[in-house]
C-alpha cells in the first residue's frame, strides 16, 4: 500500500493534452500531489500544452533520458498508452510497470474494435492474422504513408505490442467492460484491477440547467469518426422536426475530421444550429452553460470520461449504449441510454428532454448525485493506493 511521500512514476507516449487518457494522467497526478504523494513523468513525445501538463510533476524525463532513472527510485510505476513495441520494449527493460489500459490498442491494430466500412463493433479476442487482415481493409484515403507501413503495423508491430503488453504482471481498467476484454484476451482475473475514474466536485453556481428556453446541447471529445459526429449531426437534423423550442449545439474538441464534419453540418442545413468550438482548455465553462450532453460514440468506449464530466455539472446525458457507457449512464435515472447508432432514438430522447423541464431537472440532479456517490476523489484515492 502506498503512503504519503511515496514517489509514483507515470509513463506515457504523450506529454500534453490529446484525449481522455492524457487528462486522466494529469488529473490523477494532480490529485496525488495534493494528497502528499510525489508524481513523476517519463514520456516519449511532447504535444499540445505540454508545459502545463508537465508542470504538475516533481520531475520529468523524455525517453532518451531513461538511463537517468531506475525502478528503485520509485515506489509505484504506471504505464499509460504506448503505441510502439520498440518503445515498450525499452521501457520494460528498465521497469516492471502496472499497465493502465485506456483503450483497445494493445489487442486491436485499428484501435477502434469495429469492422471496416460498416463499422459494426467487434467482440472477438485478438488474433494476429484475422485482426491484421481486418485492420488492413481501409479506404485508400486513409493509407497516408503507403501500404507497407500499414501492413508492418498490422502484422508485425501489433503482435509484438500485444506480446509485450500481456507479459506485464498487473493491469488496471476503468470499467467492467474493459475487464472482460482483457479476460477474453488471456489475462487472468487476479492480474486485473478495476479502478473507476474520479471527478472533482464542482460548484454549480453558474449552471443554466433550470432554463426552459434556448436549450444548449453539448458534445465533448476528439473530432474523429469513432466519436460518431456524423451520427450526432443526423440526430440533430431529425430533432429540428421534433421540437419547436429553440436549441443550439456546441461541439468541443479538435481532430483530423474537423473540416469534414463542418462540411457535413453545413450541407444538411445545421450551420445556424451547430457550432464547432475546437479545442477548449476549460470545458467546464461550456458544460456550466449547457442543459443536455450527448455521447454519440460508435466505437466501443472503454469508459467515456467526457460523459461523467458532463454529469458532474448536473447535466443529463443522452448516449449510445456502447462499450462501458451503460456502467455510468443509467437509463431514465441520470440520462437516457439509446441503442447504438440509432439516431431516431437519440433525436427522440433529446426532444423529450428539451420539452420536459421537470424530467431534465430530475435527471440532471441524479447525474450529479451519481458522480458524488461513485466517482469521488476520496474513493479513487483509497483504491489507488492499494494497487502497489
Nearest of 180, 178, 174 to residue 195 by alpha carbon: 174
pLDDT for res 116:
85
The reply to whether 317 and 221 lie within a common domain is yes
Query: Which sign, positive or negative, has the C-alpha torsion 5, 11, 15, 17?
Result: negative
Residue carrying C-alpha cell 421534433: 242
Tell me what the mean pLDDT of segment 99-124 comes to: 91
**CATH at 252:** 3.40.50.2000
135 in a domain, yes or no?
yes
**Judgement on whether residues 78 and 193 belong to the same structural domain of the protein:** yes
| Same structural domain, 81 and 224 | no
- Owning domain of residue 301: 215-374
* Segment (H or E) for 59: strand 59-62
Say if 235 falls within a structural domain: yes
Q: For 18-32, 111-125, 212-226, which range has the lowest pLDDT when averaged over its residues?
A: 111-125
Average confidence (pLDDT) over 180-196? 97
Cell of 73: 527510485
Asked, for residue 208, whether it belongs to a domain, the answer is no
Percentage of residues in the chain with pLDDT exceeding 90? 89
Q: Name the grid cell of 115.
A: 469492422
- Cα 22 from Cα 102, distance rounded (Å): 10
Q: Could you give the count of Cα atoms lying within 13 Å of 366 in the half-sphere of its Cβ?
A: 17
Residue 86 has pLDDT above 80, yes or no: yes
Gap between the Cα atoms of 245 and 99, Å rounded: 48
The reply to whether 192 and 289 lie within a common domain is no
Average pLDDT over residues 301-312: 94
100 has a pLDDT exceeding 90: yes
How far CA 310 is from CA of 236, 342, 350, in Å, comes to 19, 21, 15
Q: Are 36 and 7 in contact (CB under 8 A)?
A: no
Q: How far apart are CA 104 and CA 113, in angstroms?
A: 7
186 shares its domain with 228: no
Burial class (CB in 10 A: 0-12, 13-18, 19+), 271: exposed
Query: Does residue 210 sit within a domain?
Result: no
Output DSSP code: residue 304: -
Same domain, 37 and 182: yes
- Is the same domain home to 11 and 153? yes
Q: What is the pLDDT of residue 165?
A: 98
Q: Can you tell me the mean pLDDT for 98-102?
A: 98
Residue 210's pLDDT is what?
54
Does the pLDDT at position 203 exceed 70? Answer: no
pLDDT tens, position by position, 33-47: 999 999 999 999 999
Q: Which of 297, 286, 347, 343 is nearest to 322 (CA)?
A: 297
Query: What contacts 24+ positions apart, CB below 8 Å, involve 230-233?
Result: 230/261, 230/264, 231/296, 231/298, 231/320, 231/341, 231/343, 231/346, 232/294, 232/296, 232/346, 233/261, 233/264, 233/265, 233/268, 233/270, 233/274
Model pLDDT for residues 259-296, shown as the tens digit of each residue: 999 999 999 999 999 999 999 989 999 999 999 999 99
- Stretch among 75-84, 121-130, 212-221 having the lowest mean pLDDT: 212-221
Tell me, what's the pLDDT at 117? 78
End-to-end Cα spacing for the chain: 5
Distance (Å, rounded) from C-alpha 6 to C-alpha 188? 28
The yes-or-no verdict on residue 209 having pLDDT over 80 is no
Q: Are residues 316 and 239 in the same domain?
A: yes
380 pLDDT above the threshold of 60: yes
Residue 312 has pLDDT above 70, yes or no: yes
Average pLDDT over the chain, rounded to an integer: 94
Three cell numbers at 72? 528503485
Q: Give the pLDDT band (50/70/90) at residue 201.
A: low
Domain count, the chain: 2
Residue 102 confidence class, pLDDT cut points 50, 70, 90: very high
Question: pTM of the prediction?
Answer: 0.91
Q: What is the CATH number of the domain that holds 39?
A: 3.40.50
Give residue 204's pLDDT band: very low, low, confident or very high (50, 70, 90).
low
Quick one: 182 and 244 in the same domain?
Answer: no
pLDDT tens column, 314-337 = 999 999 999 999 999 999 999 999
Are residues 177 and 235 both part of a single domain? no
Amino acid at each position: 500500500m502506498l503512503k504519503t511521500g511515496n514517489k509514483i512514476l507515470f509513463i506515457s507516449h504523450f506529454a500534453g493534452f490529446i484525449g481522455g487518457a492524457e487528462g486522466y494522467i494529469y488529473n490523477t497526478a494532480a490529485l496525488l500531489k495534493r494528497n502528499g504523494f510525489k508524481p513523476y513523468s517519463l514520456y516519449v513525445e511532447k504535444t499540445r500544452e505540454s508545459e502545463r501538463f508537465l508542470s504538475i510533476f516533481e520531475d520529468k524525463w523524455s525517453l532518451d533520458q531513461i538511463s537517468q532513472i531506475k525502478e528503485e527510485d520509485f515506489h509505484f510505476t504506471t504505464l499509460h498508452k504506448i503505441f510502439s513495441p520498440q518503445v515498450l520494449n525499452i521501457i520494460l527493460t528498465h521497469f516492471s510497470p502496472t499497465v493502465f489500459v485506456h483503450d483497445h490498442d494493445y489487442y486491436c491494430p485499428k484501435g477502434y474494435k469495429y469492422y471496416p466500412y460498416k463499422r459494426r463493433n467487434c467482440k472477438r479476442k485478438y488474433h494476429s492474422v484475422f485482426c491484421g487482415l481486418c485492420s488492413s481493409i481501409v479506404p485508400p484515403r486513409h493509407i497516408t504513408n503507403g501500404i507497407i507501413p500499414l501492413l508492418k503495423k498490422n502484422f508485425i508491430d501489433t503482435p509484438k505490442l500485444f506480446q509485450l503488453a500481456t507479459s506485464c504482471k498487473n493491469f488496471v481498467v476503468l470499467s467492467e467492460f474493459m475487464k472482460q476484454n482483457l479476460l477474453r484476451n488471456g489475462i487472468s482475473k487476479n492480474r486485473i484491477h478495476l479502478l473507476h475514474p474520479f471527478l472533482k466536485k464542482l460548484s454549480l453556481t453558474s449552471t443554466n440547467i433550470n432554463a426552459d428556453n434556448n436549450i444548449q446541447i453539448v458534445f465533448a471529445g476528439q473530432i474523429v469518426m469513432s466519436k460518431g459526429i456524423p451520427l450526432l449531426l443526423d440526430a440533430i437534423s431529425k430533432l429540428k422536426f421534433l421540437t419547436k423550442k429553440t436549441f443550439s449545439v456546441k461541439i468541443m474538441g479538435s481532430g483530423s475530421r474537423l473540416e469534414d464534419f463542418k462540411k457535413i453540418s453545413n450541407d444538411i442545413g445545421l450551420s445556424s444550429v451547430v457550432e464547432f468550438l475546437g479545442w477548449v482548455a476549460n470545458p467546464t465553462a461550456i458544460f456550466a452553460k449547457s442543459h443536455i450532453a450527448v455521447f454519440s460514440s460508435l466505437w466501443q468506449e472503454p469508459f467515456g470520461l467526457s460523459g461523467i464530466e458532463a454529469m458532474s455539472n448536473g447535466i443529463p446525458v443522452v448516449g449510445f449504449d456502447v462499450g462501458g457507457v451503460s456502467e455510468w449512464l443509467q437509463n431514465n435515472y441520470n440520462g437516457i441510454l439509446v441503442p447504438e447508432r440509432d439516431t431516431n432514438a437519440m433525436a427522440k430522447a433529446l426532444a423529450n428532454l428539451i420539452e420536459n423541464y421537470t424530467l431534465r431537472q430530475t435527471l440532471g440532479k441524479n447525474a450529479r448525485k451519481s458522480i458524488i456517490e461513485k466517482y469521488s476523489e476520496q474513493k479513487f484515492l483509497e483504491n489507488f493506493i492499494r494497487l502497489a
